[in-house]
Amino acid sequence: MKAIKNWKIRKIPFLKGPWPLLRVPNQGKKEGLDRGRMVTESRRLAVLYLLFFAAFPSDVTAASAFERQLQSRVTALPGQSFNVSFAHYSGYVTVNKEAGRALFYWFFEATEDPASKPLVLWLNGGPGCSSIAYGLAEELGPFHVKADGKSLYPNPYSWNQVANILFLDSPVGVGFSYANNSQDVVTNGDKRTAQDSLAFLKNWFKLFPQYRGREFYLTGESYAGHYVPQLAQAIVRSQKLTGEKSINLKGYMVGNALTDDYHDHYGVFHFMWTAGLISDQTYKLLNIFCDFQSFVHTSSACERILDIADKELGNIDPYSIFTPSCTANVTLSRNKLLKRRHSLGIIGEKYDPCTEKHSTVYFNLPEVQKALHVNPAYAPKKWETCSDAVNENWKDSESSVLHIYHELISQGLRIWIFSGDTDAVIPVASTRYNVNALKLPTVTPWHAWYDDGQVGGWTQAYKGLTFVTVRGAGHEVPLHQPKLALVLFKSFLSGRPMPTLTELNVPM
């Protein structure tokens, strides 16, 4: 069905001394910052400068990195009428000089004491969808876009409350990431994406050397169910070969994640049928023609049945089946409508099922792109939340990454899988089939977890893996249930079980 077939499984010259740094560029009363904030920020920069050169007292490379950090600092965002207590940076990291491939990132320090907090990378999927568009702008990032497409509001459940968060648009052709050779955009696949993401991390740590050796975690959702384990595997194998340990990988967590084509398809069809979304006949035909198909490269026979199921679904939001879909511009094609996302809204914000549309307006504003240091020579003519060129031309896609789980569990990594239970794209049924296929011994049996005295979901701990469901959440858990998602994230970082009825939320 198009509803499955086309869903994006998502998506300064060197300063000679520290004192010139005490002037915070472009951050005065004009941007709403008072003198006290400027003094605090000046002191923070001075301390950062001293920490840099205490660690690298005669290292010219470190000096260059500090200089580049200052250049990548985001000093003010259009439409931001509120102050923040953290620094953030954005720009490009070259991952292949010969091919001219560069990936765009946006990095947010933790709101308090970032030097003591872990570093976390977030990836969206698609393949072909932007982590800036989804993970940052409508899920777990500190800024979300208002309905006017021109202004921002703060997210009270931002994950940078407890960690330093790095968002990456990967692979090239996604968001603001680019390649000099246009053919690279239509020849992406799992293998090169993992290689380029590893190259990104190695070069990013050169740009931010103060994070070398910091506790590091990978997180993501949807097709990042491929990206995250594959990148974790690439990191582990690379460090075994080279002995280099700047990337201190401790674990990863993925949500509503594409993991194994057979189990994921079987779970999708099972979920849609039991939820009453498709007919008995269509359910049978899906299992006959699609069970063993690739999620990315389906056969024509399977696509015909998927089209039938799409019509039976009707105009619902498959990413969250019990909430309204975006009905703006109803003349759009089915594919475009199904790429819409919806928002349950944040406290103080009106419910809005068309959040993706607002981000599209905002990130196409020239002043926003300038503030984010987007390279004007390579900026897309129109910034899009998801790239059809990347998605429709995807090359290699592993049929299963379960073997990677076994490999990395043996390395002692902390591995969590979570699932919003109202998602019909990669539903909780799919994830349960995948977890069961790993055949891991149970450590803590299935039970409810709680937040503020209410059931937040259910969880089971296995030897080497923890599985968590989030009650009432769709495909994008931090969007649909932001408070519960933050509880989940805190538990994952601490390595503690999800809170029970008699426990308080996990302290950090």
Count of alpha carbons within 13 angstroms of residue 144, beta-carbon side: 30
Architecture of domain 19-247 in this structure: 3-Layer(aba) Sandwich (3.40)
The C-alpha angle with vertex 483 and arms to 368 and 474, in degrees rounded to 5, equals: 80
| Active site positions, annotated | 222, 423, 475
Separation CA 124–CA 133 (nearest Å): 9
Q: What is the pLDDT of residue 246?
A: 86
Count of alpha carbons within 13 angstroms of residue 251, beta-carbon side: 19
Count of alpha carbons within 13 angstroms of residue 415, beta-carbon side: 24
- Whether the pLDDT of residue 325 is over 90: the answer is no
196-247: pLDDT as tens digits: 999 999 999 999 999 999 999 999 999 999 999 999 999 999 999 988 888 9
286-312: pLDDT as tens digits: 999 998 899 999 999 999 999 999 999
29-66: pLDDT as tens digits: 344 344 444 445 555 555 555 555 544 544 546 668 78
Cβ(388)–Cβ(336) under 8 Å? no
CATH 3.40.50.1820 maps onto the chain at 19-247
Cβ(471)–Cβ(485) under 8 Å? no
Separation CA 258–CA 462 (nearest Å): 20
As given in the structure block, the two tokens for residue 173 are 């052709």
67-114: pLDDT as tens digits: 889 999 999 999 999 999 999 999 999 999 999 999 999 999 999 999
Q: What is the pLDDT of residue 502?
A: 78
Cβ(353)–Cβ(379) under 8 Å? no
* Segment holding 228, helix H or strand E: helix 224-242
First and final CA of the chain: distance in angstroms? Answer: 44
What's the longest Cα–Cα distance across the chain?
A: 74
**Phi, psi dihedral angles at 77 (to 5 degrees):** -115, 135
CATH 3.40.50.11320 maps onto the chain at 402-494
Separation CA 162–CA 323 (nearest Å): 29
pTM for the whole thing? 0.86
**Phi, psi dihedral angles at 361 (to 5 degrees):** -65, -50
- Tell me how far CA of residue 235 lies from CA of 125, 167, 196, 324, 416, in angstroms: 19, 18, 12, 40, 18
Average pLDDT of the residues of the chain: 86
Bridge partners of 448, per DSSP, are 458
473-482: pLDDT as tens digits: 999 999 999 9
**CATH domain 402-494 topology:** Rossmann fold (3.40.50)
